[in-house]
Amino acid sequence: MEYRNLGRSGLKVSALSFGAWVTFGDQIGERAAQAMMQAAIDAGVNFFDNAEVYAGGKAETMMGKVVKKAGWKRSDLVFSTKIFWGGDGVNDKGLSRKHIVEGVDTALKRLQMDYVDLVFAHRPDLHTPIEETVRAFNHVIDQGKAFYWGTSEWSATQIMEAHGIARELGLIPPTMEQPQYHMFHRDRFEAKYAPLYDHLGLGTTIWSPLASGLLTGKYNAGMPKGTRATLKGYEWLRRRFTDETALANIAKVGKLMNIADELGCTMAQLALAWTLKNPNVSTTITGASRAEQVVENMKAIDYVEKLTPDVMEAIEVILDNKPDAEQDWR
């Protein structure tokens, strides 16, 4: 496994990591969860991602039980939670100081941990001043309940504003952002965030690297039963796989699979390795419903070096969606 710094911080995270979204607390039991986390650790994974909203908190509860039962050394691992959607109460959502502080406390109880390494603002809160959010996350860090704080799906402008406020007040700015990034979703990560990597040293923990399964190739022949898109509550995802854009992308996946075959890897491994070719990716969060999937996903690290400039160009020709570079006026 390769380990990368989380942006300009000194924290090392595994290039491939493992997240609890969808499966933990909903699709799988505790035994399967432990098998998947053990498979990830055996492959060198040290970062495990979670959020208060995943399965209504059950994902954190399950991960906490697994970690306590397994007896893994806590200091060897990096855990996260994300705060925004904590419940139905009027103050159980958003990024107010009240919800951030109480949300972190509740998450720690579910995880059975004294602290998380990373805590994210799961979305921007247009109804709370960013200064309040910055101060609240700094309070959490000062209390020893988290080491770093960051954002998820914030705009470049919002991240810059948070940094400016933190610097002005002598506080800790966001260290990392958790954005969606994959072969079919590139503009924000590659173009809009581009100035933030050098200017701010922004780290990234990217999610949905397989486009919710589209980049595995399993949707090439239709909608298979038992997949995420067929689950109750994921009708939005099912619609995403049947519109005109999705059908065009599925056709591209068919062509990309030829490149995967030439390299001797699966389509999923190719898509994961492709994200890691971007040096601004600190870690790529993977998901799975079986330990065998974890093992296969982690093999993607072996194919990163096989994505030569010629292979990357062949991929670009198929994708035909590279964001425009900033205009050089000289």
Mean pLDDT by 10 residues, the chain (330 residues): 98 97 86 96 98 96 96 97 96 98 98 98 98 98 98 98 98 98 98 97 98 90 65 70 86 97 98 98 96 97 98 98 75
pLDDT at 221: 67
Amino acid identity, position 72: W
pLDDT at 24: 85
d(CA 55, CA 22): 7
Dump pLDDT digits (tens) for 49-79. Answer: 999 999 999 999 999 999 999 999 999 999 9
> Coil, helix or strand for 15?
coil
Tokens of 279: 């040096």
Dump pLDDT digits (tens) for 245-303. Answer: 888 999 999 999 999 999 999 999 999 999 999 999 999 999 999 999 999 999 999 99
Q: What is the largest CA-CA distance in the chain?
A: 61
Count helices and strands in the chain by DSSP H and E runs: 12, 10
Nearest one of 130, 118, 127 to 46, comparing CA atoms = 118
d(CA 255, CA 250): 9
Q: Has 54 been annotated as catalytic?
A: yes
pLDDT at 222: 64
pLDDT at 329: 57
Which of 3, 54, 219, 234 is an active site residue? Answer: 54
Structural domain boundaries in the chain: 3-213+268-306
Superfamily of domain 3-213+268-306: NADP-dependent oxidoreductase domain (3.20.20.100)
d(CA 84, CA 41): 28
Compute the CA torsion angle 136, 137, 139, 145 (nearest 10 deg).
140
Residue 306, φ and ψ in degrees, nearest 5 = -80, -10
> Coil, helix or strand for 263?
helix
Tokens of 235: 């009708």
Question: Which pTM was predicted?
Answer: 0.93
